Amino acid sequence: MHALVSVSRRLFCAAVVAAVFLRSHKSMESVDPQFTMRRKMEQLREELELMEQLRDIIESRLKVVLPEDLGTSLMDGVVLCHLANHIRPRSVGSIHVPSPAVPKLSMAKCRRNVENFLDACKKIGVPQSSLCSPYDITQCRLHPVRVTVLALVALDTTSPDGMPHKIISAGSPASCRASETHSMVSVTTQTPPPAWQIWDVIGSSLVHILCLVLLFIAYSWIELT
């Protein structure tokens, strides 16, 4: 009976220490609101860089300048269909385009363009795992759209390495802008982790050490009693 009580006490103490550790770890963000702010800013910056990469891919291929609102400019499927035809001519046989009389396409025609684009991607060889859904395009969900576009341009046979900035003639303004943007993205992905991530690791290590010390004290106290 005494041994059972001793084991029960040890398990209880271990559970208390584990609970303290988990609560301390989960409350780090609430204790330091700047941590959450920095993480959100970092995610926003990365998202903007990815969207600029998507813009540069399309603009450099089609030699166009897209509006500031990238999602809205892609949601009718017209630009994406032209991109598919650029990668593989006549892969999209019919494209509904706006006219001076009807400057905005109906949702039915937008969806038809989007479906034609995705069908063309399948024919060209984009894997199913990289295909976005029509909903992603019409609702301006640019992250899955970017995945599809990257997989599509990688299949371009006119460029040896499948990189969009290679097909632009050297010395042109578009080439300089695309090269600068590509370099910026590459440098950004290779930069060391920010300081808040390092302090997060250090804080987690200190919490682990503190838990071990508390656990040792608890065991020593049980043995003495």
Residue-wise pLDDT for 1-18, tens only, equals 555 445 455 555 555 555
CB atoms within 10 A of CB 80: 27
Q: What is the pLDDT of residues 166-225, one digit of tens each?
A: 333 333 444 444 444 443 333 333 445 555 555 566 666 676 677 677 777 776 777 676
Domain interval for residue 24 = 1-31+195-225
pTM assigned to the model: 0.55
Whether residues 104 and 175 fall in one domain: yes
**Gap between the Cα atoms of 114 and 138, Å rounded:** 8
Whether residues 219 and 137 fall in one domain: no
Whether residues 12 and 91 fall in one domain: no
Taken in order 115, 65, 168, 147, is the CA torsion positive or negative? negative
In single-letter form, the type of residue at position 89 comes to P
**Gap between the Cα atoms of 190 and 179, Å rounded:** 17
Determine contact, residues 109/73, Cβ cutoff 8 Å: no
Q: What is the mean pLDDT of residues 40-49?
A: 82
**Gap between the Cα atoms of 42 and 187, Å rounded:** 15
- What is the residue whose two structure tokens read 């010390």? 213
Whether residues 203 and 221 fall in one domain: yes
pLDDT over 80 (residue 70): yes
Whether residues 43 and 143 fall in one domain: yes
**Number of domains observed in the structure of the chain:** 2
What CATH number is attached to the domain comprising 163? 1.10.418.10
pLDDT band at 42 (very low <50, low <70, confident <90, very high): confident
